[in-house]
Amino acid sequence: MRRTRAAAEGRSPDGSRFRLWLVKDTALQRRLERAFAGKPLLIADGHHRFEVARAYFRRRPAARGLLAYLCAEQDPGLLVLPTHRVIFPAGRLVRRAQDACRLSPRRGLRSLVKAVAEHPSPYAFGLFEPGRWPMLAVPKSSRGVRSGLCVEWLAKRLTARVDPQRIAYTHDAAEAVRLARERGGVALLVKPAGVARIRRAVDRVGLLPQKSTYFHPKVASGLVFNPLEEP
């Protein structure tokens, strides 16, 4: 395939380069189908896409399959970025965090991000409230939280009752702090997790909370289309 001209190529807004080839060899298509038959696939991104697809196929069992982009978990270019939360206004969330966690101050955002990433507890996270010292938060208990990801602890212990319209998400810690300042909220800085840890989390609990992962780089949208007409 590499000896033929790519059907599409270009760069995404973030600078990622992409090239697309069409596989028209039916024998190769069948070999690929056999290679993946029966193998489990981790849905790495697209919480809402999964829900929509499941509802669609319940209504139309005979419909065509979904489009999917497959990537080896071991690919060295595959990154997982943390998805930080900003709750606005802060309300009682800071008090709940104080009651449920051991807090220790850090000198600035960079120090806090480093402390969160290096802390041995998988549920450690950063707490930034405008006008106060940034805090490293370590939950006193992880009872009932089995994933090993702090996003599950946050979803069950801190944000379960928060209106989704009051939560903003960003992959940039500095952006999370800026939003917290602008909106009178609090930033929850999530501990990063690699692909292997996410795989273990899914094996333990199944579907993860929304905005648990952000796999990078992303596939450019609009390269291929799947017609939804009935077969």
In angstroms, the CA 228 to CA 231 distance is 9
Q: Which residue has the higher pLDDT, 85 or 69?
A: 85
The pLDDT value given to residue 231? 52
DSSP string, 146-187: -SS-HHHHHHHHTSTTS-GGGEEEES-HHHHHHHHHHHT-EE
What's the pLDDT band for 1 if we cut at 50, 70, 90? very low
Over residues 133-168, the pLDDT tens digits come to: 999 999 999 999 999 999 999 999 999 999 999 999
Q: Which residue has the higher pLDDT, 64 or 101?
A: 101
Lowest-confidence range among 103-107, 159-163, 222-226?
222-226
Over residues 5-61, the pLDDT tens digits come to: 899 999 988 888 989 999 999 999 999 999 988 888 888 766 677 788 888 888 888
Work out the end-to-end distance of the chain between its first and last CA atoms, rounded to an integer number of angstroms: 29
Over residues 167-214, the pLDDT tens digits come to: 999 999 999 999 999 999 999 999 999 888 999 999 999 888 988 988
Domain coordinates in residue numbering, the chain: 8-77, 82-205
| Average pLDDT of the segment spanning 115-140 | 97
For the four alpha carbons of 210, 213, 214 and 220, in that order, the dihedral sign comes to negative
In angstroms, the CA 36 to CA 40 distance is 8
In angstroms, the CA 159 to CA 126 distance is 15
Q: Which residue has the higher pLDDT, 190 or 72?
A: 190
In angstroms, the CA 52 to CA 73 distance is 25
Q: Which residue has the higher pLDDT, 177 or 74?
A: 177
Tell me the fold of 82-205. Answer: 3.30.1760
Residue owning tokens 């790519």: 6
